[in-house]
Structure 1
Amino acid sequence: MPALTSASLCCTLISVCFLFISADQINIKAVPGQTVTLPCQAPKHTHIIVVKWSRCDLDTEYVLLYRDEQFDPENQHPSFKNRVDLQDRQMKDGDVSLILKDVMINDTGTYKCHVVQTKTNQGKRVYLKTDPIIINLSVVLPDQKVDNITAESGQNIVLPCRAPNTLLIPAVEWSRHDLETQSVLLYWKKEIVTYLQHLSFKNRVDLQDRQMKDGDVSLILNNVTINDTGTYECRIFTNERRSWKSSSIISLRVVPPGQTGGHTEDGSVGLIVGLIVFAVLLVEIVVGILIYRKNKQKTN
């Protein structure tokens, strides 16, 4: 059995750490009309057989699918046809980044990059499937400020929105950019209109103050889940102009419990520290075993 050096051991542990961290979420902001690149990097020195870009709210339809050495347009969502491509069709060095042209507000959402690869190991073909890369894309108008909120799954949160106190507010609508025609909450004539509400928000949302004192039209969202991640917009209907006016845009990110507060965005600080401690302990154990064997050989 060859001796396991501390250097090789540490390199092995560090490479495992980086493979884990590669599944972190990436946040990208863009304005309508831009061409954006959603980055995704697969391990090098492997043969890529499938690349799938998807968006969480599209169900079975996808953004882009590459397999059998060609693009598969059969189940591609219509809004992405002729607007997406791989940054490098040769996928050199594992680059499978997505180019999205002429972005629109409706492109806002959470995108995932899935890669399936093969490599030869001792004459056998081995299939590798890496953890998906997750990217949150927010497309907003240039003059709109976006507030970022991070919450943990299961929490009850408030998305703030305030209108001038002088306005009479007959209606308030909270929407999420990727839901298109359905709303998160529509408050009209002192009632919540449910027939236009997206099913996932029924019985989970309300205004913080239905009297809307001092112009407070903040939204309460109960028991948030990962699927609630997205860009929310608060719009107010004013009697003065007889029109809707955007008052607040909020980018909400929902993460598993324990990943907010005192952590990096990827929540990996504890993992890295733990792996370093584990590496040190493992090196000490290996060195102790080698010394024991060496002394035993001398004794014999």
Structure 2
Amino acid sequence: MRFDTNQKIITAESGQDVTLPCRAPNSNIIIVLEWSRADLGEKYVLLFQDERFYPDQQHPSFRNRVDLQDRQMKDGDVSLILKKVTINDTGTYECRVFMRERHHRKRGHLKTDPISIIDLSVVPPEQKNITAESGQDVTLPCRAPSNNIILGVEWNRADLEDEYVLFYRDEQFDPVNQHPFFKNRVDLQDKQMKDGDVSLILKNVTIIDNGTYQCRVFMRGTNVRKRANQDGDPISIIYLSVVPPGHTGGDTEDGGKEDGGKEAGSVGLIIGLSVSAVLLVAAVSLLIYRKHKQQQTQDSY
């Protein structure tokens, strides 16, 4: 059986949940549904038959990470939900169905060509830039998909190597391998991680805190190790720049910097006062000089 193949290109950020659309003709009964990727060999992304999944035929990287948008497959909807994608999920996905015509009572079925081909490209999350003044408390935002159970979260900074900024699992902080500079200075904005909020609070920042911070989460079905996990893709990348107090600035209505205007006014005032002082000193010196010359003239007479 041959259908017109629907081919699409989908781009997603690392850490997102992605839906790969596929729709079969609803005039026939779907016996088997296959989602596959050519580079996986004989293993499937998903195999669904007789209203249940077959995980033993599934590639390990997709276990507990895929589902159907509608398990009842109403109106032929056999779209695939791929959870918490990483750059390793990049590839070409094919959707196939085995169908039986509704008026046939025999178990024989027809295999179709792919009815949907999707090129999925997973890219790293866009980097955010945050500027803070020295001495402030700063929140570095990070949000994981809220439809999964978060077991742990890790914040790290590239220049710290194997040591991390914060590691939280089993509802408690893990101080092992935490960089000493961050001990007692970091916290989670919400330890319950409601709605996937795993944002980091960094207290009393200094210029030593400058750097690129990465946020990673561990979902149910993944391996939460006792030490930092540098292998998974980050779901948030933030560059933090810490400046001396009064240097963050702000845009004014005329497009200039508010602090820059104040600074320019202060410099102008200082220059004006300095010139006035110089003129005053010069006038006093001239007066003293004339008085001194007059006294010398009187002495000579």
Q: Normalising to structure 1: TM-score of the pair?
A: 0.46
Q: Normalising to structure 2: TM-score of the pair?
A: 0.46
